[in-house]
Amino acid sequence: MKKTNMGSSSPKYIHGYLEQEQERLREQALVIERPIYDYIDFSEVKELLEIGCGVGAQTEILLRRFPHLQITGVEYESRQIKKAIENMSKLGYDESKVKFVQQDAKNLHLDKQYDAAFICWVLEHITDPVKVLVSMKPFLKPNALVSITEVFNSTFYTYPVKKEVIDYWRIYNEYQVQIGGDPQVGVRLGDLLEEAGYINIDLRSGGFHLDSRHPEEKRTVFNYWKNLISSGAPLLIEEGLVSEKQVNDMQLAMDELRDMPHAVFYYRFIQATAYA
């Protein structure tokens, strides 16, 4: 769902770095804020390390929910950092509250230890994500809280099933694997954290199961999801994997589902907590 494939000299990022995509990341974060953050508690944390901060979409929510935090955001892509600084400045945050560091998260070189770490929609884009968890561990204080939220894309389902959507989604996920990512990485979080040496690991499944009982939220999520998967279209078209017609057909099908009173949207993500 955001950020970079850290650790490659020329990383491909399925969502791209267009300004429209940078704004989508902020909108997306707000749409799915409650299902994620209602289960995160950084109230006892002062200094937080955010891995793969991108344009600061999650950073913005973290500072709003936990205004006492001081955040260091690590990001591989300089274009994302530039936008993140701009976004934080507009919100009135300076370096006393948040600073951004351009580094490869698989090979961190930080100057302090942090009270907690936060990762959201990042590991899906990274080859061998356990290296990120290993790399950040020396920069966490003993027993530091770690919160990770990641995708489980095979759980996406709509009723009725639309072939235009399912075919595009299959190509989208296959391409993410091809460029080194893992669209199912959420289900591996427990094993990855254990392999990296973390303790007291706990997993939960969050997400959406929206039907006619939740008409407005369902419309919002269908729109959000259409924009999310459409963000991969420029790269998929460039690679010759889909045509513009296939993209348009997918978008029309998503709009049809959004407008059907009895359509259903279903998706699950996985959220992990652990301690250093």
Q: By the 8 A CB rule, do 12 and 179 touch? A: yes
Convert the pLDDT of each residue in 30-89 to its tens digit: 788 999 999 999 999 999 999 999 999 999 999 999 999 999 999 999 988 999 999 999
pTM of the predicted protein model:
0.91
The amino acid that residue 20 corresponds to is Q
Convert the pLDDT of each residue in 188-211 to its tens digit: 999 999 999 999 999 999 999 999
Neighbours of 109 (CB within 10 A): 9
Is the pLDDT at 145 greater than 70? The verdict is yes
The mean of the pLDDT values for the chain is 92
Local confidence band at 8 (pLDDT 50, 70, 90 cut-offs): very low
Question: How confident is the model at residue 27, as a pLDDT?
Answer: 72
Is the pLDDT at 22 greater than 80? The verdict is no
Local confidence band at 18 (pLDDT 50, 70, 90 cut-offs): low
pLDDT > 70: percent of the chain:
91
Local confidence band at 29 (pLDDT 50, 70, 90 cut-offs): confident
The three state secondary structure string of 141-154 is EEEEEEEEEEECHH
Residues 98-117: what's their mean pLDDT?
97
Is the pLDDT at 126 greater than 50? The verdict is yes
Question: How confident is the model at residue 33, as a pLDDT?
Answer: 92
Is the pLDDT at 10 greater than 90? The verdict is no
Is the pLDDT at 157 greater than 50? The verdict is yes
Q: Which residue, among 228, 247, 226, 245, has the nearest Cα to 171 in the 3D structure?
A: 247
Q: Which residue, among 241, 187, 234, has the nearest Cα to 14 in the 3D structure?
A: 234
* Integer Cα distance of 71 and 88 in angstroms: 11
Contacts of 8 (CB under 8 A, 6+ apart): 127, 180
Convert the pLDDT of each residue in 31-43 to its tens digit: 889 999 999 999 9
Convert the pLDDT of each residue in 206-230 to its tens digit: 999 999 999 999 999 999 999 999 9
Is the pLDDT at 5 greater than 60? The verdict is no
Residues 163-183: what's their mean pLDDT?
97
